[in-house]
Amino acid sequence: MKIGTTTATRKIRAMAKRIRVLPGGTSASKTFSLVLILIDLALTDKQTKLTSIVSESFPHLKRGAMRDFLNIVKGLNIYKEKEWNKTDSIYTFETGSQIEFFSADQSDKVRGARRDRLFINEANNIKFDAFEQLEVRTKEIIWLDWNPSSSFWYYEEIKGKRTDVEELTLTYKDNEALDIEIVKSIEQRKNRKDWWKVYGLGQLGELEGQIYKHWRIIDKVPYEARLERRWLDFGYTNDPSAIGDVYYYNGGWILNEQLYQKGMSNKRLADFLNALENPEATVVADSAEPKSIDEIRSYGLTVVPSKKGKDSVKNNIQIVQDQPISVTKRSLNIIKEQRNYLWLVDKNGKVLNEEDPACANHHMAGIRYALSTLGRLKQEASYWDRIFEKELLPPKKQLFNKEL
């Protein structure tokens, strides 16, 4: 079988120590190359081996390393349906070797049986204790990869303290298979010093311009949580439509992703919203599309426009920053946008007080729409009174919880 021949793949295959770490920039083919190599090893094993591929959550695995794995084995025409155990996420090769997938939040798996090889995808998002439990139960080789946006346990507990560690930095230039348009997009950000250092050059940095910090990731929405708002940011051809829920729980807010998809017409959006649990929930949508809001309302949904005006984005970002926020682990696009949502930086590297338009902000915008209506009920009641007076909504008690 022929394995990819990018520079990234060749460099990874040349590594020799037990713990092989791959910090690197965006589109460097770290994960894809590693999955290719692990498949090749499983196909050529002389003795049966078990490889574990682990990430912070199972949804992250399904949309990342597991999807790459299935695409590769199917693309190489070696996939056999009967060998893919969907329940346990284990694939068995003709050699008897297996590749399994599980998340670092599965404590029984982390502290479970031993394996021969281990790949921790985006290791900066798992806890040091989870790494240690996995590492001591791995007989042979361990690979770790991540984008080095900030220091974490590897730099503090592993690097320079162990002799069995080999580090390799990869960038987009190591991936010759990368589409030229993606290369151009990456290189257009060279003027953004912090971003370029991390995602362009693959070097350890600090995204000082990150807008939202310290959001917690939780397993799921607690049963006792109260749904307060639903957001809708419109997209279609180039951008996805984004829908999510805002819950109130124990003095803070919980965000839960519902949709992140291109090509959604207003009718399809309305059908999707009506099919969700609690379709009567108030949806706060982008006021830049009043015609779309009116059409979606015609399907029996309660939709209100977001409030926009001078400094509204900046002010609403401040409202969100002031809130204690948690995100469900299934909300991958919320998590990804939040981690890469940055302030604009000028040519001199100065952080400006406005969002960087190059960052994906579909959920981030929707979250502003929703939380800002909850944070300003008293001070801006007149705005919402005008909405009610125009009979755009049912009676007030259906929009606002009396406790807020």
Task: Give the residue among 264, 215, 221 at the shortest CA–CA distance from 367.
Answer: 215
What mean pLDDT is predicted for residues 264-292?
96
Distance CA 247, CA 229 (A): 7
Asked if residues 146 and 23 have their Cβ atoms less than 8 Å apart, the reply is: yes
Distance, in Å, from the CA atom of 258 to the CA atom of 230, rounded to the nearest integer, reads 9
d(CA 220, CA 329): 7
Name the least confident of 67-76, 105-114, 154-163, 346-355.
346-355
At 384 the pLDDT is 40
Question: How much is the pLDDT for 350?
Answer: 73
Query: Of all residues in the chain, what percent carry a pLDDT higher than 70?
Result: 90
Q: Which of 15-24, 64-73, 164-173, 206-215 has the lowest mean pLDDT?
A: 206-215
pLDDT per residue as tens digits for the range 283-321: 999 999 999 999 999 999 999 999 877 788 888 898 899
Nearest to 377 by CA among 304, 314, 297, 327: 304
The mean pLDDT value of the chain amounts to 88
pTM over 0.85: no
**Residue 349 pLDDT greater than 70, yes or no:** no
With beta carbons less than 8 A apart as the criterion, state whether 64 and 101 touch.
no
d(CA 100, CA 122): 17
Q: What is the pLDDT of residue 383?
A: 45
- Give Cβ neighbours of residue 160 (< 8 Å, ≥ 6 apart): none
185 has pLDDT over 80: yes
pLDDT range class, residue 4, cuts 50, 70, 90: low
pLDDT (tens digit per residue) in 138-169: 999 999 999 998 778 998 889 989 999 999 99
Per-residue confidence band for 345, with pLDDT thresholds at 50, 70 and 90: confident
Q: What is the DSSP letter of 4?
A: P
CB 339 within 8 A of CB 149: yes
Say if residue 396's pLDDT is above 50. no
Residues 6+ apart with CB under 8 A from 109: 102, 103
How far is it, in rounded angstroms, from Cα 250 to Cα 257?
20
User: Mapping DSSP to helix (H, G, I), strand (E, B) and coil, where does residue 342 land?
Assistant: strand
Looking at residue 401, its pLDDT comes to 39
Terminal CA-CA length for the chain: 62
Contacts of 378-383 with CB under 8 Å at 24 or more apart are: 380/307, 383/307
* CA within 13 Å, CB half, 38: 32
Residue 355: pLDDT band with limits 50, 70, 90:
confident
